[in-house]
C-alpha cells in the first residue's frame, strides 16, 4: 500500500479540495450563510424550531456536495431531483431511483416532494388552533381574505421581473405568511426555488414584530387604534365540532387542490374539538409535529446547495417576499379600516393585520400595538379570528395557484 | 383562463394581460370563498342560537318568599387545584401567561381560582 498515494487521494477527494475547485467558492459562501442562519435561529430566536434545522441541512449539503468531486458521498443530490422532474429522463418521477442512488437527505426530501410533511404540519397546527374567535365573529374571514393581497401583488411583480408563472406563484405565496403552505406550493410548482422561498418565508414570519408595527401606525389613526372591542359571543362545543367539517366540505368542493392542506388542518382541529380523541390530538400537536419539524427543516435546508442558491433570483425572492408581507399587512389593515367605518367604530382596524396568518405572532403584534394606544385594550382574542382565517385564506390562495399552474 | 393554463403547463412567462387577470381572479376567488364561508358560519351560528333559545326553560312559577334564616347558602364553586408553580410555559413569558389566563377567565366568566391551567404553549 502506497501511503503517500492514499493520502493524496484522500485529500484530493475531500471537501477541502472541493472548495478550491471550480464553483467551490459557492459552497464556502453557503457554509457562512448557514452559520449566520444558525446564529439567527439560536441567538436571535428567529423561528428556531425550523430555522436551526434548515440552516443545518444547508450546512450538511454544502460540506458534502461538490460538483464533480464528492457527488457519490453527498447527502443530497440536486441532479437526481433534476432527473426526477425531467420528463425526457428515464428516472422521471421515479422514487425508486432516488432510493437507489440518493443520500440520507434525498430520502428525507421525498416527504417534502410528495407534500407529506407540510400537510402533517398543518394537522398539528389544526390540533393546536382554537377556531372559537373566528366562529364567534365570522366577519374575521373577510380580514383573512383581505390579507392575501400581498400574495397576488408579489405574484404580479414576479411575473413582471421575468419569473415564469409557476415560479411567480410560489414567490407570491410567501405573502400568505404560512411556512407549510409556501413549502407545499413551491415543491409542486417550482422546486428549484424551495430553499430561497422557505428561508424568506420563515425569516419574515420571525420578523413580523419589526415589519408590521410601522405599517400599522402609518395606516391607522390613534383614535382607531384606541378602539376597545366588545367581547364576542360564547361558542358552543357543538359549533366547534361542526366547523371543521363544514370548512372541509366547502373548501375542498370549491378547490379540490386545497384538500391536503385544508383536510389535514381541519382533521387535526376535529381531533382537538370532538372530545373523544384526546390521545390523537395530543400526539399530532406534540410528538408528530416535532418529528415532522425535524424532517422538514433538515430536508428543506438540503435544497440550498451553493450552485443552486447563489443566484440573482434568490435576491429577487427576498425582495419580493418582503413586498408580499408588507402588502398583505396593508390589505388586512385597509379592510379593517373599512369595517371600522361600517360598524360605526366597533372594530379596531389593528386586528386586520393579523389576517396574514403567522399564528399567533401576528395576533400578538395587534395586541401589543393596541395596548400601546390604549392600555385597557385586549385585542389578542379578537385578532385570533382574522389570524386563523388567514391560514384558511392562504390555503385557498395556494389551492387556486396550484389549480391554475399545477397543470 | 385557457391562455393562462397553457402558458403555465409549459412553464412559460405570462403575458401582461394574463398576469393581471390571474392576480385579480386569484384574489377574487379567495375573497369569494371566504365570504361564502362567512355566510355559512353566520347561518350555523344563527341555528345554534335558536336551538339554545329553545332549550332554555320556561320562566318558573313564582316561588313563595322564605326568610333569610331558612334560605340555603348559595353554592360556591370549589376552587381548582392551584395553578401557581405547576403551570408549564413553553416559549411564553410570565407576563404573557398572566395575560392569557386573565383573558381566558374573562371569556369563560369564571374567577381565576376556579380554573386550572396545565400548560401554555406558543403555537408556531
State mean pLDDT over A182-198: 92
My answer on whether A185 and A215 are in the same domain is yes
What's the number of domains chain B is made of?
2
My answer on whether A350 and A269 are in the same domain is yes
Tell me what the pLDDT averaged over chain A comes to. Answer: 92
Which residues of chain A does B26 touch, with a Cβ-Cβ cutoff of 8 Å?
151-152, 155, 397, 400-401, 404
Tell me whether residues B34 and A250 touch, CB distance under 8 A: no
Nearest C-alpha in B relative to A400: B26
Q: Is residue B9 part of a domain?
A: yes
CA angle B3, B6, B7 (to 5 degrees): 85
What whole-number distance in Å separates Cα of residue B89 and Cα of residue B78?
A: 25
Question: What kind and span of H or E run contains A40?
Answer: helix A24-42
Spatial CA neighbour of B113 closest among B87, B73, B78: B78
Does any CB of chain A come closer than 8 Å to the CB of residue B46?
A: no
Does any CB of chain A come closer than 8 Å to the CB of residue B97?
A: no
Q: Is residue B7 part of a domain?
A: yes
What pLDDT is attached to residue A359?
A: 84
pLDDT band at residue A125, thresholds of 50, 70 and 90?
Answer: very high
Q: Is residue B80 part of a domain?
A: no
Q: What is the pLDDT of residues B44-93, one digit of tens each?
A: 999 988 888 887 765 555 555 544 544 444 554 554 555 555 678 888 88
For the purposes of burial, counting CB atoms within 10 Å of the CB of A176, is it exposed (0-12), middle (13-18) or buried (19 or more)? Answer: buried
Tell me whether residues A378 and B48 touch, CB distance under 8 A: no
* Range from A191-200, A301-310, B64-73, B105-114 carrying the lowest mean pLDDT: B64-73
Tell me whether residues A152 and B124 touch, CB distance under 8 A: no
Q: Contact at 8 Å (CB) between A24 and A66?
A: yes
* Range from A18-22, A100-104, A176-180, A326-330 carrying the lowest mean pLDDT: A18-22
Which residues of chain B does A407 touch, with a Cβ-Cβ cutoff of 8 Å?
5, 8-9
What whole-number distance in Å separates Cα of residue A210 and Cα of residue A368?
A: 12
State mean pLDDT over A343-369: 92
Interacting residues of A345 by C-beta distance below 8 A, sequence separation 6+: A227
Q: Which domain holds residue A39?
A: 1-72
Q: What is the pLDDT of residues A32-53, one digit of tens each?
A: 999 999 999 999 888 888 889 9
What pLDDT is attached to residue A406?
A: 85
Does any CB of chain A come closer than 8 Å to the CB of residue B17?
A: no
Whether the predicted pLDDT of A258 surpasses 60: yes
What pLDDT is attached to residue B123?
A: 78
Q: Which domain holds residue B116?
A: 88-121
Q: Is residue B65 part of a domain?
A: no
Domain boundary among A72, A90, A124: A72
Q: Contact at 8 Å (CB) between A349 and A365?
A: no
Closest partner CB to B124 (pick from A49, A159, A396) = A49
My answer on whether A221 and A281 are in the same domain is yes
Q: Is residue B67 part of a domain?
A: no
Is the pLDDT higher at A345 or at A65? A345
Which residues of chain B does A145 touch, with a Cβ-Cβ cutoff of 8 Å?
30-31, 33-35
Is the pLDDT higher at A358 or at A334? A334
Which grid coordinates belong to A164? 415564469
What's the number of domains chain A is made of?
3
My answer on whether A58 and A197 are in the same domain is no
Q: What is the pLDDT of residues A21-37, one digit of tens each?
A: 878 899 999 999 999 99
What pLDDT is attached to residue B2?
A: 47
Closest partner CB to B8 (pick from A152, A163, A405) = A405
Query: A48-64 vs A24-42: helix axis angle to the nearest 10?
Result: 160
State mean pLDDT over B19-33: 95
State mean pLDDT over A129-135: 94
Whether the predicted pLDDT of A150 surpasses 50: yes
Q: Contact at 8 Å (CB) between A325 and A204?
A: yes
Spatial CA neighbour of A273 closest among A244, A232, A233: A244
Domain boundary among A49, A72, A95: A72
Neighbours of B12 (CB within 10 A): 12
Closest partner CB to B44 (pick from A146, A242, A360) = A242
What pLDDT is attached to residue A195?
A: 86
My answer on whether A169 and A251 are in the same domain is yes
State mean pLDDT over A355-370: 91
Tell me whether residues B29 and A238 touch, CB distance under 8 A: no
Which residues of chain B does A141 touch, with a Cβ-Cβ cutoff of 8 Å?
34-35, 37-38, 41
Whether the predicted pLDDT of B4 surpasses 70: no
Q: What is the pLDDT of residues B27-47, one digit of tens each?
A: 999 999 999 999 999 999 999
Q: Is residue B72 part of a domain?
A: no
Q: Is residue B96 part of a domain?
A: yes
Task: Say which residue the cell 389549480 belongs to.
Answer: A403
Amino acid at each position: 500500500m502506497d501511503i503517500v498515494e492514499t493520502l493524496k487521494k484522500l485529500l484530493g477527494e475531500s471537501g477541502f479540495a472541493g472548495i478550491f475547485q471550480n464553483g467551490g467558492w459557492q459552497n464556502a459562501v453557503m457554509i457562512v450563510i448557514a452559520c449566520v442562519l444558525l446564529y439567527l435561529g439560536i441567538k436571535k430566536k428567529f423561528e428556531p424550531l425550523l430555522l436551526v434545522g434548515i440552516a443545518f441541512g444547508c450546512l450538511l449539503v454544502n460540506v458534502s456536495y461538490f460538483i464533480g468531486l464528492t457527488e457519490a458521498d453527498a447527502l443530497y443530490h440536486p441532479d437526481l431531483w433534476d432527473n426526477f422532474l425531467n420528463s425526457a429522463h428515464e428516472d422521471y418521477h421515479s422514487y425508486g431511483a432516488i432510493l437507489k442512488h440518493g443520500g440520507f437527505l434525498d430520502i428525507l426530501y421525498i416527504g417534502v416532494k410528495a407534500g407529506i410533511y407540510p400537510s402533517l404540519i398543518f394537522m398539528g397546527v389544526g390540533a393546536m388552533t382554537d377556531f372559537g374567535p373566528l366562529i364567534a365573529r365570522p366577519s374575521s374571514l373577510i380580514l383573512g381574505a383581505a390579507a392575501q393581497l400581498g400574495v397576488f401583488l408579489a405574484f404580479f411583480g414576479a411575473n413582471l421581473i421575468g419569473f415564469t408563472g409557476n415560479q411567480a406563484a410560489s414567490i407570491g405565496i410567501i405573502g400568505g405568511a404560512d411556512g407549510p403552505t409556501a413549502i407545499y406550493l413551491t415543491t409542486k410548482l417550482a422546486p428549484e426555488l424551495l430553499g430561497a422561498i422557505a428561508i424568506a418565508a420563515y425569516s419574515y414570519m420571525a420578523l413580523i414584530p419589526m415589519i408590521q408595527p410601522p405599517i400599522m401606525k402609518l395606516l391607522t389613526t390613534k383614535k382607531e387604534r384606541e378602539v376597545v372591542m366588545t367581547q364576542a359571543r360564547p361558542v358552543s362545543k357543538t359549533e366547534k365540532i361542526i366547523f371543521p367539517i363544514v370548512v372541509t366540505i366547502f373548501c375542498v368542493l370549491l378547490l379540490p387542490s386545497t384538500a391536503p392542506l385544508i383536510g389535514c388542518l381541519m382533521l387535526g382541529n376535529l381531533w382537538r374539538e370532538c372530545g373523544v380523541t384526546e390521545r390523537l390530538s395530543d400526539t399530532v400537536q406534540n410528538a408528530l409535529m416535532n418529528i415532522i419539524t425535524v424532517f422538514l427543516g433538515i430536508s428543506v435546508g438540503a435544497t440550498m446547495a451553493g450552485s443552486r442558491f447563489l443566484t440573482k433570483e434568490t435576491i429577487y425572492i427576498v425582495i419580493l417576499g418582503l413586498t408580499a408581507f408588507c402588502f398583505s399587512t396593508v390589505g388586512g389593515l385597509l379592510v379593517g379600516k373599512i369595517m371600522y367605518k361600517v360598524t360605526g367604530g366597533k372594530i379596531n382596524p389593528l386586528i386586520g393585520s393579523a389576517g396574514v396568518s403567522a399564528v399567533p405572532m401576528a395576533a400578538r403584534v395587534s395586541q401589543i400595538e393596541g395596548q400601546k394606544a390604549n392600555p385597557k385594550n385586549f385585542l389578542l382574542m379578537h385578532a385570533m379570528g382574522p389570524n386563523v382565517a388567514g391560514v384558511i385564506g392562504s390555503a385557498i390562495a395556494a389551492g387556486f395557484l396550484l389549480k391554475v399552474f399545477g397543470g | 383562463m385557457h391562455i393562462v393554463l397553457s402558458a403555465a403547463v409549459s412553464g412559460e412567462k405570462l403575458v401582461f394581460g394574463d398576469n393581471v387577470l390571474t392576480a385579480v381572479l386569484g384574489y377574487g376567488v379567495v375573497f369569494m370563498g371566504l365570504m361564502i364561508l362567512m355566510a355559512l358560519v353566520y347561518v350555523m351560528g344563527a341555528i345554534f342560537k335558536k336551538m339554545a333559545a329553545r332549550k332554555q326553560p320556561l320562566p318558573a312559577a313564582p316561588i313563595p318568599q322564605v326568610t333569610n334564616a331558612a334560605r340555603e347558602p348559595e353554592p360556591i364553586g370549589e376552587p381548582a387545584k392551584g395553578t401557581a408553580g405547576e403551570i408549564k410555559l413553553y416559549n411564553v413569558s410570565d407576563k404573557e401567561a398572566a395575560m392569557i389566563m386573565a383573558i381566558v377567565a374573562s371569556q369563560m366568566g369564571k374567577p381565576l381560582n376556579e380554573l386550572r391551567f396545565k400548560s401554555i404553549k406558543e403555537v408556531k
